[in-house]
Amino acid sequence: MTKTFGGVTAVDGASVQFQEGKVNGLIGPNGSGKTTFFNCVTGMIKPDSGSVLYRDKTITRQSPDRIARAGIGRSFQLCRVFPRMTVMENLLVAVRHTSIGRQLRSARDEEELERARGWLRRVGIDHLEHAEARNLSYGQQKLLELAGVLMGEPDTIMLDEPAGGVNPALIGRISTLVRELNAEGKTFIIVEHNMEMVMSLCDHVVVFDRGRPIAEGAPEIIQRDPRVLEAYLGV
């Protein structure tokens, strides 16, 4: 895959394979192309060349909603929630495909409401069901965004810096939830700068530098790789 912006090559002929059923990490210095890569995979932007295969099917250049329905859910580096909607309304909007007003008027299905409450309990913010999203802390908004992703019932979950701006207690909660969901069969691909979280949570790690992977393997191997130490850790 290749993606350029003007004269800057953000993703430079990158070829990557992630492991199904595992927690995969995607790390690298700032500006190494990780989020651009995420955006190309999930249809937020179109790659200049290359293809994306998901379970042997090409999803390159499909719209984000089609990719989501194919089984890939994602969060964003900066939280994307509807600030003036309640926590519950945010979850109901996440899984409906009509206009927002119509979504909220028709959101009376008890089974769907209970499913939303179940995910709120899983992420630990069920007590905030009726609160407006703008009144949540940043960490709570991250949990709300994750619950919205899970409402789509994806098989593969791509998280862009889930620990960014989050206190240690919430990082621990997110890590525990990832482990539980992975044990239930969910595949994860996580972009993260918190190396303690990456090395303790991930089964497989891919390292980006200057728009392409320079190393991949188990965390204990990545920590000793001289290319990683030079590019990422500055050793």
CATH number 3.40.50.300 given to 1-71+154-235 = yes
Domain locations along the chain:
1-71+154-235, 82-153
How many CA within 13 A on the CB side of residue 20? Answer: 8
CB 133 within 8 A of CB 83: yes
| pTM for the full predicted model | 0.90
Beta-bridge partner residues of 11: 3
Cα dist. 191→79, 115, 130, 131 in Å?
Answer: 14, 27, 31, 29
Instruction: Please report the pLDDT score of residue 41 as a whole number.
Output: 95
Distance of CA 99 to the CA centre of its chain: 25
Cα dist. 48→7, 11, 58, 223 in Å?
Answer: 13, 10, 15, 32
Instruction: Please report the pLDDT score of residue 234 as a whole number.
Output: 57
* Mean pLDDT of each 10-residue bin along the chain, 235 residues long: 94 95 95 94 95 93 92 90 94 67 57 93 96 95 94 96 90 95 97 92 95 94 88 60
Instruction: Please report the pLDDT score of residue 110 as a whole number.
Output: 82
> Of the candidates 143, 150, 149, 131, which has an alpha carbon nearest to the alpha carbon of residue 89?
131
56 Cβ contact partners less than 8 Å away, ≥ 6 residues apart: none
Instruction: Please report the pLDDT score of residue 227 as a whole number.
Output: 86
Instruction: Please report the pLDDT score of residue 97 as a whole number.
Output: 53
